[in-house]
Structure 1
């Protein structure tokens, strides 16, 4: 139901680009893309290049088209938003944290019906976003940390849960304030810096990312990747957009692999592909190696092997011998 041909002609956005970046999955669940993309709309004989977050919009005939969300200089807080006028305190709160922090009545853009909503500012585009309270779903846990019904109630009302001790699935622990963000449609860790400070930091990160390219958007010369040095032919291939093959490399868990490096025009930076010796075809990480790569390289947890201390091998999704079976069965916690 998505007209990819028209989308590419109208906006210069390809399906493959959204799939490879991981944005497509979010967009198929009626979310905006987590990151900005470059779109190239054409008005008359002139083509423009603009950055925008992307989402899908349903047409009257049931098909879907692309809806770009372009960057605004600042949130439009001086005009009514769906029938609600922001007070001085509201504006200060939105500029400080990005969240209004309370439930307000807003007019539904399609029906005009008044609905209770939470309001936030999109920190990438400065768009104002709202989420009806009756559509909000908050999980009862963040990572390994449980949320009480009282805490969930506070979050649904736009309030802040202060000083919550958090443990993520990867074992990382920290203390943070929590608040629901209507743009992300999820609970977030509350920022201590203002919205302007945060956006300034994002601009600095963008400038840092742009260190991979020159003023014309072409890849800059690099002579090595991590501990692997390139010869002149590899450097020339990289700058021409070709793949560089790096052999005899080990991943973070010491498993031997071949790494392919290539400059990605869409992301404006180099990207890597891991190829383990048994794989016959190099397409990112092969299907049979995805669990191994996720656990060994990305710190993720596989339920069937979560207590095993050894690095996983190719195709492994369960204990491979009696020793690992014993490790997996071993309960966690203090001995008694």
Structure 2
């Protein structure tokens, strides 16, 4: 119960799928639009006029699996339905073909249904038996425990290696220990998803969840553009004040009753935002553990109760590691599971995600830039705000280019330049070679000297490289034929 899953992500048509559903009793194919606060499925007719209402989901296999598992968990009476994932551009036509199969079954139609059907998530039946205690963040360890929930041999290391995450890598980065204890990694990890015909690279937090036969399944917590606060979250509708608090501090600031969609159990909980991924995270109130003192200040019962209720608390006279007194506002965070210092944080998610994820914790610089992972030496310099030179960056047409990156701790933004920022400060004229290549290959801009050249520009190229390209450049494209109305 770690995140709201009725979100309708805004993906481009070619990168998204549509969720269709067959009501087994009504024998009718519909397009899913969401789940209401009572856990009931909401649908519309799968026709063109309703396309804007269709629920769109990410095409990526692992990301969709996590989404659908949570979607299934929230749905009331999920076994009454059969679900199908189809490409957005083909949704209306595919829905018609599926309805024909429901009305008049054929072998061809059965094959179509089987191809697109989404099965009940693995381990769901086993999870349902343990629902009362493990519904909320089942992959996470109970706060305050030092015990391990998993063993290294329970992890499918072949799958992890396919994600670019070897055991040696996780141990070297000190990421394996928190995973085995049942926690999410405390930093973003570069993940590569090989889908056969395409490779997707992304930054994500990882956690382990119980799978079949006692194995551990890796969960990928990808970065969202912004937290979804406009849909009910396990029965709770966010008020204006809730949204304001979550966006400004990352914590909602009060205890609310969240509803287990299967059992109907009311669970007093606090809610926070994962500042690295924008997930909405919940934690049961009875799992909150408050320390007796913070930075030399002993907490009285009234102060402890304030923190247990999820409220912010102003503390004065604390002592820093340097021995200096300081004052700060503290609050319990559901994602971190401990009392954190706010220091006037602002986690408004309206800007670019890579910078947003840093605003709450500006010291955590991203480990990757445009799909290229930084070496340990590069990262040490980068996170301290020093300029780092990167080569081997790849533009959208597969051509290499180089440049300089700098991390701004205050804003959490990563700056990029084709020339050293130090040289720019000296007002040295920047070279155009890489600028032209990236502008044409990645940004869709036009270079007049190579307007008609069909091949991607090479590094440093600004003019046709050979006779073939010169001939292409000298032969302008024929004007498009008019599509005027015939009379």
Given the two structures, how large is their TM-score scaled by the length of structure 1? 0.59
Could you tell which deviates more after superposition, 27-36 or 205-214?
205-214
Q: Which residue of 1 aligns with 2:236?
A: 84
Contact 1:72 1:127 (8 Å CA) reproduced: yes
2:169 counterpart residue number: 17
* Distance in 2 separating the partners of 1:213 and 1:112: 55
Secondary structure at the counterpart of residue 49 of structure 1: strand
Identify the residue that residue 134 of structure 1 maps to in structure 2: 286
1:22 Cα offset (Å): 2.1
For residues 29 and 162 of structure 1, the distance between their equivalents in structure 2, rounded to whole angstroms, comes to 32
Q: Is the contact made by 2:157 and 2:167 (CA closer than 8 Å) also made in structure 1?
A: no
Relative to structure 1, is the Cα distance of residues 27 and 61 closer, same or farther in structure 2, using a 3 angstrom cutoff?
A: same
Offset of residue 164 of structure 1? 3.0
Hey, what's the Cα distance between the residues in 2 that align with 1:7 and 1:143? 43
**Cα distance change on mapping 1:213 and 1:183 into 2, 3 Å:** farther
Task: State the distance in 2 between where 1:31 and 1:204 align.
Answer: 18
> Residue 219 of structure 1: CA displacement?
10
CA separation in 1, counterparts of 2:177 and 2:164? 19
> Structure 1's 212 and 4: CA in aligned 2 closer, same or farther, altered over 3 A?
farther
SS of the residue aligned with 1:100? coil
Distance 1:25 1:32 in 2: 10
The alpha carbon displacement at 1:110 in A equals: 6.9
The equivalent of 1:148 in structure 2 is 300
From 168, 174, 180, give the equivalent of 1:28.
180
Q: Give the secondary-structure state (helix, strand or coil) at the position aligned to 2:307.
A: helix
Aligned partner of 2:198 in structure 1 is: 46
CA distance in 2, matches of 1:15, 1:103: 39
Aligned partners of 1:149 and 1:111: how far apart in 2?
A: 34
Could you tell me how far 1:39 is from its partner in structure 2? 0.5
1:103-150 Cα offsets, whole Å, 9 max, x none, are 011124775522000000011110000100011112212243322222
Figure out how many residues of one structure are paired with residues of the other and give that number: 221
TM-score by length of 2: 0.42
CA contact (8 A) 1:142 1:168 kept: no
Instruction: From the superposition, tell whether residues 211 and 176 of structure 1 become closer, same or farther in structure 2 (CA, over 3 Å).
Output: same
- Distance in 1 of aligned mates of 2:365 and 2:169: 22
Q: Aligned in 2, Cα 1:74/1:8: closer, same or farther, shift over 3 Å?
A: same
Cα-to-partner distance string for 1:252-294 (whole Å, 9 max, x where unaligned): xxxxxxxxxxxxxxxxxxxxxxxxxxxxxxxxxxxxxxxxxxx
RMSD of the alignment, in Å? 2.9
Q: Deviations over 1:206-241 (max 9, x none)?
A: 4854943415369999xxxxxxxxxxxxxxxxxxxx
The within-5 A match list for 1:226-245 is: none
Partners of 1:9 and 1:112 lie apart in 2 by: 40
- Of 328, 343, 353, the match for 1:176: 328
In structure 2, C-alpha distance between the alignment counterparts of 1:177 and 1:203, rounded to whole Å: 19
Residue in 2 aligned with 1:99? 251
Aligned residue number for residue 214 of structure 1: 390
Cα deviation for residue 19 of structure 1 reads 1.9
Secondary structure at the counterpart of residue 179 of structure 1: strand
Stretches of structure 2 that go unaligned for 5 or more consecutive residues are: 1-150, 350-354, 370-381, 394-400, 405-487
Identify unmatched segments of 5+ residues in structure 1: 222-336
Cα drift, residue 32 of structure 1 = 1.1
Q: Distance in 2 between matches of 1:152 and 1:192?
A: 21
Q: Deviations over 1:63-96 (max 9, x none)?
A: 1121111000000011111121111121111111
